[in-house]
Amino acid sequence: MPRVLLTGFGPFGSHDVNPTEAIIKTFPSLLPINNPFGRGSSEVSIEKHVLSVDEDGSHWTAQELDRREWDAILHLGLCGECTVPRIELRAQDCLDMTIPDNSGRHVRNATLSGIGDLHTQVPVKKWNTQEWTVGVELSLDAGRYICNETFYRTQEALNNHKFAIPCLFLHLPTTDHFSRKDAATLIRNMLAHMLYKPSIKVAAGIFLGDKGFLAMRRGDDEPKPGKWEFPGGTIEHNETPEEALLRELKEELSIEATIIKRVGRWDHSYPFLHVEIHCYLVESSNLEEMKMTAHSDRKWISSQEDLDLDWLEADIPIVKRLLNNDY
């Protein structure tokens, strides 16, 4: 039976009540869920814990990872200024507390580790959250208080953990803006998506030139930031791979392209996502006029040394084949 850790916080600052504490205490300990991506269902064991609003609380989950086994971790926190719940995709390497925590600690403008911001590895952007019955926003700003510190410390520990465990932080508004019933529905939906692996199809374009073939570096606000890949994106339900590729190239690079030929198909399973990649040779007459909206850099790849770049794992077999001039 899958086991999930669900955490919340007690009151803090000017908030006499923290809705996440009440949600934790009333949430069921056994939860039936259905696979949101296909067939299958299971019953999930929920371990619930109310964290203290201080440094000890922010470290609790990270410290317990060495002694407990969980298949997913979902942190809940209160966002007093929010009117819509927010799924946080990034924990910032920053602690800047406008008010003291419940232990009296009051740290301003400090880093948490110095290694930089940490992005969740959970493919939330592939969940079609805009179609959920309970509305939710995707956020890159978990604040600079205990919520962000907790999310950061957990992800920091998971980066060195022996198992790949999905972890997210959900910020909830006060009960004036969001009911506990809707919160429970949203949490159930998120856990189902975290415990089952989506499978997506993507189209990738390979531009060939005198200097080799073109690779792109993912932007800092993208999933797996800093990784090198081929431009392209997800194939929608009503699209062919070719249609999806031309659309994505226009959206990501602001260029019109032409498909020359199909190179092949590759499959890769990440810890939380299965990807089916359809690759094509492409060309464009205005390649030098591209405007990068999802990437931070580009590079022409031509030698075996370029394999040392920090590639997306799914793209490595494709790079090896191209370097062998097999296209």
pLDDT digits (tens, 9 = 90+) for 222-272: 888 899 999 999 998 889 999 999 999 999 999 999 999 999 999 999 888
Residue 275's closest CA among 306, 307, 229?
229
Dihedral of the alpha carbons of 28, 183, 171, 68, in degrees to the nearest 10: 10
Name the percent of the chain in helix, strand, coil, to the closest 5: 25, 30, 40
pLDDT at 272: 86
**What pLDDT digit, counting tens, does each position of 274-313 carry?**
999 999 999 998 888 889 998 999 999 998 998 999 999 9
User: Percent of the chain having pLDDT more than 70?
Assistant: 100
pLDDT-wise least confident of 34-38, 134-138, 175-179, 220-224? 220-224
Beta-sheet pairing, 86-88 with 137-139: parallel
Are 287 and 207 spatial neighbours (Cβ–Cβ below 8 Å)? Answer: yes
Half-sphere CA count of 89, side-chain side, radius 13 A:
17
Q: 190 near 168, Cβ under 8 Å?
A: yes
Predicted confidence at residue 298, as pLDDT, reads 94
- Which DSSP symbol is given to 52? P
- Average pLDDT score over residue span 89-109: 96
pLDDT of res. 242 = 96
Query: What's the mean pLDDT when you consider all of the chain?
Result: 93
Token pair for 89? 């995709």
Q: How large is the average pLDDT for residues 29-44?
A: 91
Distance (Å, rounded) from C-alpha 76 to C-alpha 40? Answer: 27
Residue 325 neighbours by CB distance under 10 Å: 6
Q: Are 47 and 63 in contact (CB under 8 A)?
A: no
Say which residue the tokens 């696979």 belong to. Answer: 35
pLDDT at residue 169 greater than cutoff 80: yes
pLDDT at 61 over 90: yes
Whole-number pLDDT of residue 237: 85
**Per-residue buried b or exposed e for 28-61, using 16+ beta carbons within 10 Å of the residue's own CB:** eeebebeebbeeeeeebebebebbbbbbebbbbb
- Give the pLDDT score at 232: 95
pLDDT digits (tens, 9 = 90+) for 179-204: 999 999 999 999 999 999 888 899 99
Residues spanned by CATH 3.40.630.20 within the chain?
A: 3-195
The boundaries of every CATH 3.90.79.10 domain in the chain are: 199-323
Q: What percent of the chain has pLDDT over 90?
A: 79
* 188 close to 33: Cβ distance less than 8 angstroms: yes
Domain 199-323 has CATH 3.90.79.10: yes
The whole-number pLDDT of residue 52 equals 97
pTM higher than the cut 0.85: no
3-195: which CATH topology? Aminopeptidase (3.40.630)
**pLDDT tier at 221, thresholds 50, 70, 90:** confident
Residues 325, 327: Cα–Cα separation, whole Å: 6
pLDDT for res 1: 87
- DSSP, res 53: S
Instruction: Calculate the CA dihedral of residues 197, 76, 20, 29 and round it to 10 degrees.
Output: 40
The answer to whether residue 327 scores a pLDDT higher than 80 is no
In one-letter notation, the amino acid at residue 272 is: F
For residue 136, pLDDT over 80 is answered with yes
Question: CA torsion 37→39→43→47, rounded to 10°?
Answer: -20
